[in-house]
Amino acid sequence: MLTLGDILAGARAATPAFERWLETASPELADQVRAAAEAEGETPARFARSAVAAFDRDADFQAWTRLTGRLHAAADPGLVCLEEMVRWRLATSRAERLEEAR
């Protein structure tokens, strides 16, 4: 059985694969990630890695519940975890994340 640490490590390690997978699985999300990364002066891979850190640090109970719910049927928990964390980061502005952390 995978632990949360195993899944988070898989998500961090999956960032290069995530970019390739995302282009195929969700071109619209890939465009959003590229635009957000560019706006923050990051590469898409760096944006994805920082999404993992931000989610781990700042996500609320509902975000964690949604993530764990998606992991149950996931063929690749690392990619699913990373996708959910990136979607969360896109939906949560940097200012909101900083405010929630206080």
Q: What is the mean pLDDT of residues 26-36?
A: 89
Q: What is the mean pLDDT of residues 35-47?
A: 89
The pLDDT value recorded for residue 50 is 86
For residue 13, give every residue at least 6 positions away whose Cβ sits within 8 Å of its Cβ, in sequence order, or none. 78
Q: What's the predicted TM-score (pTM) here?
A: 0.74
* Greater pLDDT, 29 or 101: 29
Largest CA distance in the chain: 38
pLDDT at 79 over 80: no
Of 49, 19, 24, 21, the closest CA to residue 34 belongs to 19
Distance, CA of 5 to CA of 93 (rounded, Å): 25
The pLDDT value recorded for residue 97 is 52
pLDDT at 26 over 90: no
Q: What is the mean pLDDT of residues 82-101?
A: 77
